[in-house]
Amino acid sequence: MSTVQRQSALPVRMERFAPKDEVSKNAQLLLRAGFIAKEMAGVYTFLPLGWRVMNNIMGIIREEMESLGAQEIFLTALQDPSIWETTNRWSDDVVDVWFKTQLKSGAPLGLGFTHEEPVTRLFTRMVSSHKDLPFSVFQIQTKFRNETRAKSGIMRCREFLMKDLYSFSRTSEEHEEFYNRAQNAYERIFARVGIGDSTYLTFASGGTFSKYSHEFQTLCDAGEDVIYVDEKRKIAINEEVMSDDVLNDLGIRREDLVQHTAAEVGNIFSLKTKFSDAFQLLYRDEEGEQRPVVMGSYGIGPGRVMGVAAELFGTESAMVWPVSIAPYAVHVLSLGRNDDALACAKACADRGVDVLLDDRNRRAGEQFAEADMIGCPIRVILSEKTARDGVVEVTDRVSDTTQRIPVAEAPARIAEMVQENTQALCR
Amino acid sequence: MSTVQRQSALPVRMERFAPKDEVSKNAQLLLRAGFIAKEMAGVYTFLPLGWRVMNNIMGIIREEMESLGAQEIFLTALQDPSIWETTNRWSDDVVDVWFKTQLKSGAPLGLGFTHEEPVTRLFTRMVSSHKDLPFSVFQIQTKFRNETRAKSGIMRCREFLMKDLYSFSRTSEEHEEFYNRAQNAYERIFARVGIGDSTYLTFASGGTFSKYSHEFQTLCDAGEDVIYVDEKRKIAINEEVMSDDVLNDLGIRREDLVQHTAAEVGNIFSLKTKFSDAFQLLYRDEEGEQRPVVMGSYGIGPGRVMGVAAELFGTESAMVWPVSIAPYAVHVLSLGRNDDALACAKACADRGVDVLLDDRNRRAGEQFAEADMIGCPIRVILSEKTARDGVVEVTDRVSDTTQRIPVAEAPARIAEMVQENTQALCR
């Protein structure tokens, strides 16, 4: 069901100036335009426009997770220390981002910064036979990380939503097969949210369990990582593992690489049997032999994707969202023609397009400046002049082209433009 | 898009016995049937079946919130003490359910147990003129409450999802008008999720700001409240405010009242200007006069709705979910006829029905017992016998009636039954 949202009814106020205490472009833009509000350093509320962007991103992620056959679950934020002691990850000396709290009894609890431990323990109760495998589960849940310095706007937060997927396989081969499908799903997600062209599959440290893990890194000045990109092969190496040995191993030539600053928007990990060994997540194979389950872990932060999009497609005062995640695909601006504008907006909504309608009758300059910040990719203007000419003015802000389209034809043409722009993301 | 979910691919295991440490029926059933898993007292993970029920409940709530014109936002769990000191609600002596934690600097933080304070402060930045009002916002967010004794399964938790709606109006009259619409939306929600017949608008304490608040109380043995129901008028009075004065005030006769145990599934509060006074959430009216905003607060716990539904429509070993919130509307059981059963399930899905397909070929008795626990309201059986007769056996578990329907006609008839049962909830 598509919506027409009257801007006059939206409890959002644009700010004339960026907040002084924010250094990152994404935070400046998103705060000024009323997408988010800062509660404290690294802790942001999502306002109506920002929450719509998040929902669009989470919707695309959810579709791709379901197409992998993953089941959605919802784990808990409150964490029992005993689970984390099993893997020696409870101590603040080992994990330095815990937020901890306690029950009235004084018993300590943690706030989940990730969920490998609880998800592994959970499935020890469900898995015993090879017939129970393979499967995968995912959740979109709030993580808490007690970062010493929270910066980069919504790209490194103390509290943030994260999609995490966990896979459970019988053998390394079965795991590899799923891992590759997950990798493809991630590539589709980044393409569909509009950052695919700037996002590279990146070889990174595999930690204690694998030679490499794979990160998805998006070229972006506000990123915290340095990567070396092989543009021809569309892969990259994270600086942290860059060495002659690794280049050799991957068959990459140093002269093909270009150094970039990038932000990690996703990562996928082969966990092997590290967690299943620790929690005794075992199954009996067809010969009755007990074996540990082979696991994988796959994360994406939807808030970071939103921040990266703001970095890529925005300035401090203007934004053009990819149509797939825009708060509204179409922004109809009424310059003194509210009835016509409402009719046009409704006709677009009837064709499945979400429309924001600026019915506030402010100064035109103010309406344009605010529309620039909100960043809907297609802008439609109805003014006294367009009414006299029997047209509406439609701007595709991605290609920055404007057409004057007869009133009666406009809604169908606008719906087509939305569809074309959506498809263009997945080419 | 409707789904056929193969049960063989569902990472869920039913338990033969209810857990000994759970006293409430809802927890026993939901744990045994694999809807939820217990992390610790009052802290539950939602497994795939349970999360589907939650999503159905949240979807209905969201639709009704949007039909009120409320905008969805997402506030934060981490809370800055200074906000709560403004209303004297930071001290553990005043609010005894805080979970508290701290930043690395040692600065204390709280985990939100409700969100009136942050939402009021948030909108001080957005509201200054009568033109900015009225509006309403809602969120579905995790609340944390450090309950001394967590019991009643998922009905009183230490961590739980809650939908909270906040309204911002210019005058008491404007507030009343919204409050009444919100009350109607709540009545529609409880009807649509299937507990409307047992749920009563209940007069309860208005706290320090109003004479009364309204609770929605569902008759239910596991509830923690005692209410007095006037069945004819379909209203009730919470024991906590029951007195001759109140009866007089409401025009209710004591002899019309019947005492019941009930669970609070929602509450709606007129906050008047308590929070807007504290945070100076003011607006200028048309005469330029500064006035405080009139607020309301409206809560529903989707997890508690799920627990209450389990209490109303379940035993320790069998459940019949209302079709609107069932994990799947239809459960197709293959007794040795997997190809036929899959074809039937797909044909139902093509007609917009979500189907769970038991393709596991266990003993029939086991399949039936587990299907009883999962609780899909419509059950379809395909066996050697039905195949010979060219029919499928369709049971409406609400009315407990079984029909044998020719194979070709079954999907259309099943889709009709789903629609009829959904509509019956909203009569």
Q: What does the pLDDT look like over A94-131, one tens digit per residue?
A: 999 999 999 999 999 999 999 999 999 999 999 999 99
Same-domain status, A299 and A331: no
Q: Which of A291, A86, A295, A57 is nearest to A176 (CA)?
A: A295
More confident residue, B427 or B3: B3
Residue B353 lies in a domain: yes
What string of DSSP letters covers A347-401? HHHHTT--EEEE-S---HHHHHHHHHHH--SEEEEEEHHHHHHTEEEEEETTTTE
Query: CB-based contacts of A239: which residues, under 8 Å, 6+ apart?
Result: A225, A226, A227, A228
Q: Which of A331, A376, A341 is nearest to A56 (CA)?
A: A376
Encoded amino acid at A309, one letter: A
Least confident of B26-30, B80-84, B205-209: B205-209
Residue A19 lies in a domain: no
Domain limit, last residue, from B258, B280, B313: B313
- Distance, CA of B398 to CA of B324 (rounded, Å): 13
Rounded to a whole number, what is the distance in Å from the CA of B150 to chain A's nearest CA? 11
- Distance, CA of A360 to CA of B336 (rounded, Å): 64
Residue A18 lies in a domain: no
Instruction: Mark which residues 38-77 of B lie under 8 Å from A by CB.
Output: 39-40, 43-48, 51-52, 54-55, 69, 71-77
Structure tokens at B120: 């009021």
Instruction: Say if A19 is an interface residue toward chain B (CB within 8 Å).
Output: no
Same-domain status, B117 and B157: yes
Determine, for residues A75 and B122 on separate chains, whether the beta-carbon distance falls below 8 Å: no
Q: Which residues of A touch B73 (CB under 8 A)?
A: 45-48, 51
Structure tokens at B149: 């004794």
Same-domain status, A151 and A226: yes
- Within 10 angstroms of residue B106's Cβ, the number of other Cβ atoms is 6
Decide if A112 contacts A77 (C-beta within 8 A): yes
- Distance, CA of A358 to CA of A328 (rounded, Å): 12
Residue in this structure with the two tokens 């797939």, named with its chain if needed: A324
Same-domain status, A357 and A253: no
Same-domain status, A298 and A346: no
Same-domain status, A80 and A122: yes
Q: Which CATH number is B327's domain given?
A: 3.40.50.800
Rounded to a whole number, what is the distance in Å from the CA of B48 to chain A's nearest CA? 5
Q: What does the pLDDT look like over B371-382, one tens digit per residue?
A: 999 999 999 999
Rounded to a whole number, what is the distance in Å from the CA of A131 to chain B's nearest CA? 8
Domain limit, last residue, from B279, B297, B313: B313
Q: Is the pLDDT of residue B116 over 70?
A: yes
Residue A16 lies in a domain: no
Q: Does an H or E element contain A421, and which?
A: helix A410-425
Given this model, what pLDDT does residue B23 score? Answer: 79
Same-domain status, B194 and B157: yes
- Distance, CA of B114 to CA of B32 (rounded, Å): 31
Instruction: Mark which residues 334-373 of A lie under 8 Å from B by CB.
Output: none
Mean pLDDT of chain B: 95
pLDDT over 70, % of chain B: 99
Same-domain status, B324 and B307: no
Given this model, what pLDDT does residue A378 score? Answer: 98
Q: Which residues of A touch B154 (CB under 8 A)?
A: none
Q: Which CATH number is B110's domain given?
A: 3.30.930.10
β-strands B355-358, B330-335: how paired?
parallel
Structure tokens at B312: 């109303």
Q: Which of A8, A9, A100 minimises the CB distance to B101?
A: A100
Same-domain status, A261 and A278: yes
- Distance, CA of A168 to CA of A178 (rounded, Å): 9
Domain that holds residue B386: 4-10+320-425
Instruction: Say if A126 is an interface residue toward chain B (CB within 8 Å).
Output: yes
> Which residues share a beta bridge with B143?
B160
CA A239 to chain centre: 23
A387, B212, B351, B419 from B412: Cα distances, Å: 49, 49, 7, 11
Rounded to a whole number, what is the distance in Å from the CA of B40 to chain A's nearest CA? 7
Q: Is the pLDDT of residue B12 over 90?
A: no
Instruction: Mark which residues 167-226 of B lie under 8 Å from A by CB.
Output: 168
Predicted complex ipTM: 0.96
Q: Chain B interface, mutation test: which of A12, A30, A99, most B Cβ atoms within 10 Å?
A: A99
Q: Is the pLDDT of residue B232 over 80?
A: yes
Domain limit, last residue, from A281, A313, A345: A313
Given this model, what pLDDT does residue A362 score? Answer: 93
Same-domain status, A141 and A275: yes
Domain count, chain B: 2
> Which residues share a beta bridge with B295?
B168, B272
Given this model, what pLDDT does residue A236 score? Answer: 97
Residue A418 lies in a domain: yes
A87, A182, A244, A334, A418 from A117: Cα distances, Å: 8, 21, 35, 54, 43
A58, A220, B224 from A305: Cα distances, Å: 10, 11, 44
Decide if B48 contacts A172 (C-beta within 8 A): no
Residue A235, classed as helix, strand or coil, is: strand
Q: Which of left, alpha, beta for B409 (phi over 0: left; psi -120 to 50: alpha)?
A: alpha
Residue B126 lies in a domain: yes
Least confident of A169-183, A322-336, B62-76, B138-152: B138-152
Q: Which of A71, A132, A158 minimises the CB distance to B48?
A: A71
- Within 10 angstroms of residue A292's Cβ, the number of other Cβ atoms is 18
Structure tokens at B340: 């036929």
Same-domain status, A352 and A251: no
Decide if B227 contacts B260 (C-beta within 8 A): yes
Strand order in the sheet with A99-102: A78-79, A108-111, A99-102
Please, what are the averages of pLDDT over each run of 10 residues along chain A (427 residues)?
90 79 85 94 96 98 97 98 97 97 97 98 95 97 92 86 98 98 98 97 85 94 94 95 93 95 96 97 97 98 96 91 98 96 97 97 94 97 97 96 97 97 88
Q: Which residues of A touch B170 (CB under 8 A)?
A: none
- Distance, CA of B396 to CA of B394 (rounded, Å): 7
Burial of B129 per CB tally in 10 Å (0-12, 13-18, 19+): exposed
Q: Is the pLDDT of residue B1 over 70?
A: no
Residue A15 lies in a domain: no
Q: Chain A interface, mutation test: which of B74, B93, B121, B154, most A Cβ atoms within 10 Å?
A: B74
Given this model, what pLDDT does residue A427 score? Answer: 67
What confidence tier does B206 reach under pLDDT thresholds 50, 70, 90?
Answer: confident
Same-domain status, B295 and B327: no
Residue A215 lies in a domain: yes
